[in-house]
């Protein structure tokens, strides 16, 4: 079995290749050629956390895997990330375990790549101002991924902690060679933004319709079983796209309160979800219809994304003789 640690995974990741691989995986999922059952989880209420299991199979990538991911939001103030994960890959022909990978870096990268794919499909071609809501690992990975698909010329960072926002802005300016600055609040960062990437653990919405400019593309990846990132007005007005209707509308720990709450309140119906990413990719559904239309990608994370990423990384590791081989028997 091949074992790859976090630094090795990060070194092997190619964001451009990952975005393309996710496009294939999402098309396969929507067409029924790939499988990703709803994730299951056990809650750890005393820490507001949970541990989830996410199996997935993408035959076109020859990847059968499962991810174990823990979400412990209180880690955000310390040395450990809020999301930590392991991925185990299996031979899809024999079921033999073949690789064990750090999944923390993969989770951050594949989530951002999914958002970038949605921006490639839905954001205006000239989108150049990116608002990042949140200051953690997902915000950083989203900035890098968005710069690969749109001509980003300005990055605005906002979060609960202004000092963390300023530190992330300085880091992004140096890493991406794109001017980045911290803003006082979410509304200020969103004013005039062409793309808004919400990456928070918010209880109350950080995306509100009154704060959005015409034509903005919104991506939302935050997950809080007791909260939401997007207000009802934005959900009701936007062209809404998801990875999987089944996953987005499933109960905890799979679905999204951003969609489930207005659905239960009768503000929208299930038909309000315009398309899955895979349907946009294959032409089964149309994307943006006007420059001023607000588009929204609500992500809950599906295992075929992890499978696509793992397949790329394992292949690169084999080619470069990276990682450590161990025997379990």
DSSP for 196-252 reads EEE----SS-SB-GGGPPTT-EEEE----TT--SB-HHHHHHSEEEES-HHHHTSPT
Separation CA 285–CA 329 (nearest Å): 49
- pLDDT of 243 reads 98
pLDDT of residue 267: 96
CATH class of the region 2-106+304-325: alpha beta
pLDDT score at 193: 98
For the chain, which ranges sit under pLDDT 50?
A: none
- Give the number of other CB atoms < 10 A from CB of residue 293: 17
Q: What is the model's pLDDT at position 77?
A: 67
pLDDT at 99: 98
Contact status, residue 119 vs residue 298, Cβ threshold 8 Å: no
- What pLDDT was estimated at residue 148? 98
CATH number attached to the domain at 124-301: 3.40.50.720
In this prediction, residue 225 carries a pLDDT of 87
Question: Which residues of the chain are in CATH 3.30.1780.10 domains?
Answer: 2-106+304-325
pTM for the model: 0.96
SS3 helix, strand, coil % of the chain, rounded to 5?
A: 40, 25, 35
In the chain, ranges of CATH 3.40.50.720 domains:
124-301
What is the C-alpha R_g of the chain? 19
């Amino acid at each position: 079995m091949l074992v790859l640690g976090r630094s090795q995974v990060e070194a092997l990741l190619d964001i451009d290749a990952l975005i393309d691989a996710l496009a294939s995986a999402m098309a396969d999922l929507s067409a029924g050629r790939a499988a990703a059952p709803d994730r299951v989880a056990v809650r750890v209420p005393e820490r507001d956390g949970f541990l989830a299991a996410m199996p997935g199979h993408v035959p076109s990538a020859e990847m059968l895997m499962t991810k174990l991911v823990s979400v412990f939001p209180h880690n955000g103030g310390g040395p450990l990330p809020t999301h930590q994960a392991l991925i185990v890959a299996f031979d899809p022909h024999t079921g033999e375990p073949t690789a064990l990978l750090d999944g923390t870096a993969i989770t951050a990268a594949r989530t951002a790549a999914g958002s970038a794919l949605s921006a490639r499909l839905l954001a205006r071609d000239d989108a150049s101002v990116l608002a990042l809501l949140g200051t953690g690992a997902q915000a950083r990975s989203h900035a890098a991924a968005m710069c690969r698909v749109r001509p980003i010329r300005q990055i605005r960072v906002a979060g609960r902690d202004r000092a963390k926002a300023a530190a992330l802005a300085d880091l992004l300016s140096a890493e991406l060679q794109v001017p980045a600055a911290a803003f006082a609040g979410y509304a200020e960062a969103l004013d005039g933004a062409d793309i808004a990437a919400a990456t928070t653990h918010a209880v109350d919405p950080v995306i509100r319709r009154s704060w959005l400019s015409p034509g903005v593309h919104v991506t939302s990846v935050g997950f809080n079983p007791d909260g939401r990132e997007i207000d009802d007005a934005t959900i009701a007005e936007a062209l809404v796209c998801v990875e999987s209707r089944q996953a987005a509308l499933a109960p905890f720990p799979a679905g999204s309160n951003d969609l489930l709450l207005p659905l239960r309140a009768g503000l929208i119906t299930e038909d309000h979800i315009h398309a899955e990413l895979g349907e946009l990719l294959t032409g089964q559904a149309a994307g943006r219809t006007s420059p001023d239309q607000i588009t929204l990608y609500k992500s809950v994370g599906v295992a075929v994304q992890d499978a696509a990423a793992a397949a790329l990384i394992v292949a690169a590791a084999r080619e470069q003789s990276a990682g450590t081989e161990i025997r379990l028997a």
